[in-house]
């Protein structure tokens, strides 16, 4: 436990599970105050209760961030309840599987809505709040497969590449306001989403599915999945003042997948 976020207020989207949950835990351990913004309020509530039962430094805000007015409300509520906004971690994301021949207008709307527009909407309202405090840090979670091709998940990979372009151009727009904007690109990471998916596909228990994932030799240099906390550490670095000379950067946290 350190003090890398002491005095800082952070909004973490998608904090109800996986990498977002690990980010909330790490931010809390580093003395930050955190608003978890998620459309799954039950999951976000469980995380808040586990991390900070007193409710003093972690609050939950339910919002569907694909809607601009809900993103605006989420930022406003964060400031109302915690006092200001210094850090925005855009972690929420969804997947659509299959080749482009199976894509539909609905599946495009769904994945662009969460993976791209929610990042843009939340950032739009976070920036003016950060300007009031003299600056801040935005960390967007993209994917190693934003730059490395693979089969069967083209729509997801396209949105994650768009997030990298958004990140770089936002960094250009807001550098003079002392707002840093960076992206993290996780490789395959052992989160409950993937465990549940494998368990359902193979008709096995969650425990078995997780054990299988741990035993899988993944196609990266380290031959394993990442842990959510290993991704969260990179988000923490970019969120706190240790990365004060870093903006517009793309951090590959992928066990060497992209080399
Ligand atoms: N897990 C991996 O292997 C991996 C790899 C590369 C990139 N990523 C990216 O990392 C991020 C987190 O991944 P994860 O596996 O921890 O995901 P996850 O599915 O466990 O969590 C995503 C969270 O986002 C929330 N969310 C979804 N739609 C929302 C909306 N409209 N409004 C608000 N919240 C919404 C969900 O409720 C959930 O709590 C995602 O952006 C994902 O694309 C993950």
Q: What is the pLDDT of residues 227-258, one digit of tens each?
A: 999 999 999 999 999 999 999 999 999 999 99
- Please state the φ and ψ torsions of residue 233, each to the nearest 5 degrees: -60, -35
- Sign, CA dihedral 22-28-31-35, equals positive
Give the integer Cα–Cα distance in Å for 167 and 226: 23
109-150 pLDDT, tens digit per residue, is 999 999 999 999 999 999 999 999 999 999 999 999 999 999
The hierarchical CATH code for the domain 9-189+227-252 is 3.40.50.720
The answer to whether 126 and 85 have CB atoms below 8 angstroms apart is yes
Q: Is the CB of 19 under 6 A from ligand 1?
A: yes
Which ligand 1 atom is at minimum distance from the Cα of 70? 32
DSSP state of 5: T
CATH 3.40.50.720 segments of the chain: 9-189+227-252
Ligand 1 centroid from CA 94, angstroms:
5
Q: Is the CB of 71 under 6 A from ligand 1?
A: no
55-75 pLDDT, tens digit per residue, is 999 999 999 999 999 999 999
Ligand 1 centroid from CA 14, angstroms:
6
- Chain-centroid distance of CA 235 in Å reads 8
Q: Is the CB of 94 under 6 A from ligand 1?
A: yes
DSSP state of 257: T
Once rounded to an integer, what is the mean pLDDT over residues 169-176? 98
């Amino acid at each position: 436990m350190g003090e890398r976020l002491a005095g800082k207020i952070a909004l973490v989207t998608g904090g109800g599970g996986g990498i977002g949950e690990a980010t909330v835990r790490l931010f809390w351990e580093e003395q930050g105050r955190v608003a978890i913004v998620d459309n799954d309020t039950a999951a976000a509530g469980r995380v808040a209760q586990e991390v900070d039962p007193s409710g003093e430094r972690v609050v939950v805000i339910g919002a569907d961030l694909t809607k601009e007015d809900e993103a605006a409300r989420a930022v406003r509520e964060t400031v109302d309840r915690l006092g200001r906004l210094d850090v925005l971690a855009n972690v929420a994301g969804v997947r659509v599987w299959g080749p482009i021949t199976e894509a539909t207008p609905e599946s495009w709307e769904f994945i662009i809505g969460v993976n791209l527009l929610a990042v843009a909407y939340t950032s739009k309202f976070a920036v003016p709040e950060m300007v009031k405090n003299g600056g801040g840090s935005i960390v967007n979670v993209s994917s190693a497969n934003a730059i490395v091709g693979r089969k069967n998940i083209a729509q997801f990979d396209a949105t994650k590449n768009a997030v990298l372009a958004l990140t770089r151009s936002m960094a250009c727009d807001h550098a003079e306001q002392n707002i840093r904007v960076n992206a993290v690109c996780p490789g395959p990471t052992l989160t409950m989403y993937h465990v549940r998916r494998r368990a359902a596909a193979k008709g096995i228990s969650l425990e078995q599915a997780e054990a299988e994932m741990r035993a899988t030799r993944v196609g990266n240099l380290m031959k394993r999945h990442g842990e959510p906390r290993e991704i969260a550490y990179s988000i923490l670095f970019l969120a706190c003042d240790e990365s004060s000379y870093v903006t517009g950067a793309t951090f590959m946290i992928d066990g060497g997948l992209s080399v």
